[in-house]
Amino acid sequence: MIKVTQLTKTYETTSKRSFTAINNISLEINAGEMLAITGVSGSGKSTLLHILACLDKAYEGSVSIDNMEISKQSDRKLAYIRNNDSSIVMQDFMLIDDYSVFENVMFPLMLQKLSKKERKNRVCEALNQVGMLANIKQGADTLSGGEKQRVAIARAIVTKPKYIFADEPTGSLDKKNTDGIMQILETLNQSGITIVVVSHEQSVANHCKRKIELLDGKILS
């Protein structure tokens, strides 16, 4: 379970100037939930998601994952959590262009003690789940946008995380591909993974059982 209590995130912009991107929000996300975070551009969605995904521990208030306060953990421990328990799908995919599909999805497993064969099996299983197994040898730079997004999801699930945080996972896709990606996320959620999806699109949020809307760093509804 994730428990957010009176979370505030302030960015120091220039000297003596700061900007409050998340303003005193409280929220609970139960194990097994599929939650949508919506809101206009600049409302604080990515900022919140990065904190939940253990990428940013410089905040005020409390954020705990499975009873562990994120801000109190060492960078090493947070890296371990990101590699084992929680995965993020970034707003702009963040695939490595020079790598093949296989190498991109394998990447997070390099930090895990697995045999070569186990790694290969895991990569194939993840690619199969997103319908990209046939593209395993293709260069990442030659994929379409929808394919890149599916490979990014495969890379997120290859470590078998408990949590997936997806930032605009359908941002640049047409309706058919958007529905395809959301169906993949729904299937992953049904298999027990807790999922948080950030999107400014209502059609994406409608795939989620619960929605919260941010405006100016506060929860609207």
Ligand X SMILES: Nc1ncnc2c1ncn2[C@@H]1O[C@H](COP(=O)(O)OP(=O)(O)OP(=O)(O)O)[C@@H](O)[C@H]1O
Binding site for ligand X (CB under 6 A): 11, 13, 19, 21, 39, 41-47, 200
Min dist. Cβ of residue 219 to ligand X (A): 13
Classify strands 194-198 and 34-38 as parallel, antiparallel or unpaired: parallel
Q: How many other C-beta atoms lie within 10 A of the C-beta of residue 108?
A: 20
Min dist. Cβ of residue 43 to ligand X (A): 4
Which C-beta is closer to ligand X: that of 27 or that of 133? 27
Which C-beta is closer to Mg ion: that of 46 or that of 194? 46
Answer with the entry of ligand X, Mg ion, none that 39 interacts with (C-beta below 5 to 8 A by kind): ligand X
Distance CA 207, CA 212 (A): 13
Identify whether the C-beta of residue 59 lies closer than 8 Å to the C-beta of residue 4.
no
Answer with the entry of Mg ion, ligand X, none that 21 interacts with (C-beta below 5 to 8 A by kind): ligand X
- Identify any residues that bridge with 196 across adjacent strands, giving them in sequence order: 35, 165
Which C-beta is closer to ligand X: that of 32 or that of 171? 171
Min dist. Cβ of residue 34 to Mg ion (A): 19
Locate the DSSP E strands across the chain: 2-12, 18-29, 34-38, 60-65, 68-69, 86-89, 163-167, 194-198, 210-215, 218-219
Min dist. Cβ of residue 45 to Mg ion (A): 5
Answer with the entry of ligand X, Mg ion, none that 131 interacts with (C-beta below 5 to 8 A by kind): none
Min dist. Cβ of residue 50 to Mg ion (A): 9
Which C-beta is closer to ligand X: that of 67 or that of 221? 221
> 21-50: which residues touch Mg ion (CB under 5 A)?
46
Min dist. Cβ of residue 72 to Mg ion (A): 26
Identify whether the C-beta of residue 185 lies closer than 8 Å to the C-beta of residue 177.
no
113: which 2 tokens? Answer: 């003690």
Which C-beta is closer to ligand X: that of 48 or that of 132? 48
* Torsion angles phi and psi, residue 22, rounded to 5: -125, 125
Which C-beta is closer to Mg ion: that of 21 or that of 101? 21
Judged on CB neighbours under 10 Å (0-12, 13-18, 19+), 190 is exposed
Interface contacts to Mg ion, rule CB under 5 A? 46
